[in-house]
C-alpha cells in the first residue's frame, strides 16, 4: 500500500504486543532462514507513513464497524487462530493438543505459555496429519536438544524437551505416501535428522495407476514419494537408547481417542485402515474406511489437520471453507450469488484463502488485494463528498482512549526486541522470547 499510492497512511493493528504473526509464533525455531523476512517487515514499519498499534483486540477494544467508520480502507489479515477438529469420541482427553497449540507453546506465544504438555509420561507420541506443520512438530520432538538450544525456542519448551521421554513419533496419514501433504525440502530435513531411525512399510509404497497419474501431474508429489521410497530402503542402525524412531503410518483414519488404563490421559488411538477411492466430483483420491481397526498406543497426541479462521461480528464468513467470501480480496456481503461488495473492506492471507501456503504465497496474495484496493481508489470509491470525512489515525486514538486501551507502538516492540536479543546473547540464542503477557507489556514500556 505504501509503495502503491503516494501519501497513503497505514496503521497496523495487532492483538499481540509483538508484530510479525506467524513468523514469530508459527515458523519453527530451527528455521531461522524463514524468519529473515522480518527485516523486510521492519523496513515497512520504519516508514513514517506506517504505524503499529499492538495489544489492541478487534472485537473487544474496537469493533469492525468502528474501524470501518474511522478508515477509508480496512484490510483484515488476522489469519487462522483456531483448529480443525475430528469430532470423534475422546477428543477432549488430557494429553491431546492441536499442533497450533503445541507450536505456539514452543514458540513462546503468550496465549500458550502455560500449556505444559506432558512429555514425560510416555515413550510414544502420535501426530495426526502429514502436512508441513505435522513435520515441524515431529521434528521438534525428535531433534537433539543441543541443536535446539541455540535457536529462539521458548526456554520452558527447551527444558521440557530436555527431560522428554518420547522416543517414538508416529506420523499418521489417512491417505498414502503419494498424497502426503508435506513438501520435499521439509521431508528431506526430517529424514536426515541425526539419531533418528525412520520406519516406512514397503507395502504402503505400492502405487496404483491413479497414484502414478497424480505423480505425473505434480513434481512435488513425485519428489515426496521418491524421498519416502528411498528412506524405506535405508538400513537402520541398531536401536540403542540414543536413537529415536520416526514411523510413517499411511492409510489410517483416526476413529477414537482411547483413555489410558487409569483414565487420566490419552492412552492410544483407534485407527481404521483405509483404501483410496476416486471421488467422482473432484477427481481427488479420498480415503474410505475398510471396517478394519487397530490400536496405536501413545501418551500424547498432536492433531495437525489444519488451522481454522474465526469470524468476527459484522463480517460475512463461509463456515464450511473457513474463509471470508471475497473477490480478489474485496469482501463480499455473503457467499450467495447475489452478494455485493462491502465498500472499503478487504481481506488477505489465510483468512482470504484458507490455511495453506508459505510466506511467499501470502506476499502474492497481499499484492492481489492491494491491486484491488488501488483499482477501487482510482475509481474514486473512497471519496464520498457528501459523507463525513473519516478520521483515520486520529479517530483510532480517540476510540482507544475512550476504551482505556493501552496500545503498544512499534518502539514498544523495539524495546521488547532489544531485551529479548540481550537475554538471548547470554545463552548463545538469537533471542530469549518473553512469553507472558504482563512481562511483554512491561518490557514494551521500560
- Sheet bearing 96-98, strands edge to edge: 96-98, 300-303, 124-128, 168-172, 244-249, 196-200
Asked if residue 175 binds ligand NAP (CB under 6 A), the reply is yes
Three cell numbers written together for 17: 504486543
- Number of residues in contact with ligand NAP, rule: CB under 6 A? 23
Min. distance of Cβ 101 from ligand NAP in angstroms?
13
Find all residues with CB under 8 Å of 20, minimum gap 6, and list them. Answer: 38, 41
Is 130 assigned a ligand-binding role in the annotation?
yes
Min. distance of Cβ 399 from ligand NAP in angstroms?
34
Distance CA 400, CA 241 (A): 57
Cβ closer to ligand NAP: 321 or 403?
321
Three cell numbers written together for 123: 515413550
Distance CA 318, CA 320 (A): 6
Is 142 assigned a ligand-binding role in the annotation?
no
Min. distance of Cβ 83 from ligand NAP in angstroms?
9
The interface mask with ligand NAP, positions 83-112, x = CB under 6 A, is ---x--------------------------
Q: Count how many Cα atoms sit within 13 Å of the Cα of residue 383 in the half-sphere of its side chain.
A: 5
Min. distance of Cβ 404 from ligand NAP in angstroms?
37
**In whole angstroms, what separates CA 353 from the centre of its chain?**
14
Contact with ligand NAP (CB under 6 A) among 179, 309, 372, 435: 179
Is 186 assigned a ligand-binding role in the annotation?
yes
Taking CB under 6 A as the binding criterion, the range among 107-115, 299-307, 325-333, 372-380 that sits at the site for ligand NAP is 299-307
Asked if residue 271 binds ligand NAP (CB under 6 A), the reply is no
Is 58 assigned a ligand-binding role in the annotation?
yes
Is 47 assigned a ligand-binding role in the annotation?
no
For the CA atoms of 79, 85, 91, 97, what is the dihedral angle to 10 degrees? -30
Asked if residue 303 binds ligand NAP (CB under 6 A), the reply is no
Cβ closer to ligand NAP: 81 or 186?
186
Contact with ligand NAP (CB under 6 A) among 107, 130, 274, 285: 130
Asked if residue 151 binds ligand NAP (CB under 6 A), the reply is no
**Cα→Cα distances 356→46, 181, 309, 349, 405, Å:** 29, 10, 12, 9, 33
Is 175 assigned a ligand-binding role in the annotation?
yes
Asked if residue 79 binds ligand NAP (CB under 6 A), the reply is no
Distance CA 343, CA 176 (A): 45
Asked if residue 51 binds ligand NAP (CB under 6 A), the reply is no
Contact with ligand NAP (CB under 6 A) among 129, 177, 412, 424: 129
Asked if residue 412 binds ligand NAP (CB under 6 A), the reply is no
SS3 (DSSP) at 149: coil
Give exposure, 68-101, as e/b (b: 16+ Cβ within 10 Å): bebbbbbbbbbbbbebbebeeebeebebbbbbbb
Residue with grid cell 486520529, as numbered in its chain: 394
Distance CA 443, CA 446 (A): 5
Measured distance between the N- and C-terminal CA atoms of the chain, rounded to whole angstroms = 32
* Strand ranges in 104-186 using DSSP code E only, listed in sequence order: 124-128, 168-172
Asked if residue 164 binds ligand NAP (CB under 6 A), the reply is no
Is 104 assigned a ligand-binding role in the annotation?
no
Q: Which residue is nearest to ligand NAP (CB)?
A: 131
Asked if residue 322 binds ligand NAP (CB under 6 A), the reply is no
Is 40 assigned a ligand-binding role in the annotation?
no
Q: Return the closest-CA partner of residue 42 out of 24, 19, 64.
A: 19
Looking at residues 342 to 361 of the shown chain, list those that interact with ligand NAP (rule: CB under 6 A).
355-358
Cβ closer to ligand NAP: 130 or 372?
130
Contact with ligand NAP (CB under 6 A) among 186, 342, 376, 420: 186
Contact with ligand NAP (CB under 6 A) among 97, 167, 174, 330: 174
Asked if residue 177 binds ligand NAP (CB under 6 A), the reply is no
SS3 (DSSP) at 277: strand
Q: What is the DSSP string of 45-58?
A: HHSTTEEEEBS--B
* Chain residues in the site for ligand NAP (CB under 6 A): 86, 129-134, 136, 173-175, 179, 181, 183, 186, 304-307, 355-358
- Feature table: binding site for NADP(+): 130-133, 174-175, 186, 357
Annotated binding site: 22, 58, 130-133, 174-175, 186, 350, 357
Amino acid at each position: 500500500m505504501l509503495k502503491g499510492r503516494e501519501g497513503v497512511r497505514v496503521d497496523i493493528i495487532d492483538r499481540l504486543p509483538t508484530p510479525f504473526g506467524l513468523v514469530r509464533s508459527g515458523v519453527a525455531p530451527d528455521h531461522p532462514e524463514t524468519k529473515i523476512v522480518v527485516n523486510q517487515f521492519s523496513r515497512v514499519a520504519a516508514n513514517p507513513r506506517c504505524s503499529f498499534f499492538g495489544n489492541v483486540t478487534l472485537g473487544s477494544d474496537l469493533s469492525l464497524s468502528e474501524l470501518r467508520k474511522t478508515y477509508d480502507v480496512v484490510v483484515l489479515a488476522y489469519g487462522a487462530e483456531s483448529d480443525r477438529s475430528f469430532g470423534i469420541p475422546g477428543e477432549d482427553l488430557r494429553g491431546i493438543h492441536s499442533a497450533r497449540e503445541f507450536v505456539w507453546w514452543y514458540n513462546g506465544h503468550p496465549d500458550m505459555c502455560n500449556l505444559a504438555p506432558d512429555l514425560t509420561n510416555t515413550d510414544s507420541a502420535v501426530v495426526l496429519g502429514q502436512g508441513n506443520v505435522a513435520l515441524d512438530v515431529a521434528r521438534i520432538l525428535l531433534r537433539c536438544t543441543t541443536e535446539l538450544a541455540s535457536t529462539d525456542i521458548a526456554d520452558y519448551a527447551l527444558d521440557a524437551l530436555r527431560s522428554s521421554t518420547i522416543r517414538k513419533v508416529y506420523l499418521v496419514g489417512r491417505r498414502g505416501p503419494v498424497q502426503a501433504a508435506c513438501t520435499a525440502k521439509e521431508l528431506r530435513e526430517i529424514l536426515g535428522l541425526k539419531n533418528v531411525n525412520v520406519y516406512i512399510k514397503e507395502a504402503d509404497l505400492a502405487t496404483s495407476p491413479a497414484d502414478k497419474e497424480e505423480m505425473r501431474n505434480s513434481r512435488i508429489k513425485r519428489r515426496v514419494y521418491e524421498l519416502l521410497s528411498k528412506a524405506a530402503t535405508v538400513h537402520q542402525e541398531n536401536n540403542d537408547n540414543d536413537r529415536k524412531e520416526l514411523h510413517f503410518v499411511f492409510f489410517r483414519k483416526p476413529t477414537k481417542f482411547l483413555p489410558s488404563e487409569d483414565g487420566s490421559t490419552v492412552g492410544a488411538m483407534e485407527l481404521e485402515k483405509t483404501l483410496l477411492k476416486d471421488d467422482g466430483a473432484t477427481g481427488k483420491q479420498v480415503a474410505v474406511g475398510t471396517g478394519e481397526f487397530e490400536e496405536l498406543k501413545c501418551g500424547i497426541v498432536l492433531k495437525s489437520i489444519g488451522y481454522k479462521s474465526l469470524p468476527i461480528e459484522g463480517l460475512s464468513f463461509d463456515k464450511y471453507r473457513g474463509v471470508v467470501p471475497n473477490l480478489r480480496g474485496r469482501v463480499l456481503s455473503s457467499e450467495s450469488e447475489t452478494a455485493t461488495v462491502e465498500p472499503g473492506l478487504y481481506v488477505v492471507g489465510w483468512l482470504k484463502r484458507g490455511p495453506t501456503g508459505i510466506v511467499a504465497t501470502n506476499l502474492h496474495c497481499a499484492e492481489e488485494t492491494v491491486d484491488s484496493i488501488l483499482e477501487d481508489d482510482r475509481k474514486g470509491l473512497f471519496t464520498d463528498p457528501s459523507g463525513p470525512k473519516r478520521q483515520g489515525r486520529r479517530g483510532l486514538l480517540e476510540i482507544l482512549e475512550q476504551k482505556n486501551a493501552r496500545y503498544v507502538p512499534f518502539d514498544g516492540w523495539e524495546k521488547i526486541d532489544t531485551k529479548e536479543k540481550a537475554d538471548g546473547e547470554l545463552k548463545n540464542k538469537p533471542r530469549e522470547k518473553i512469553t507472558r503477557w504482563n512481562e511483554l507489556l512491561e518490557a514494551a514500556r521500560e
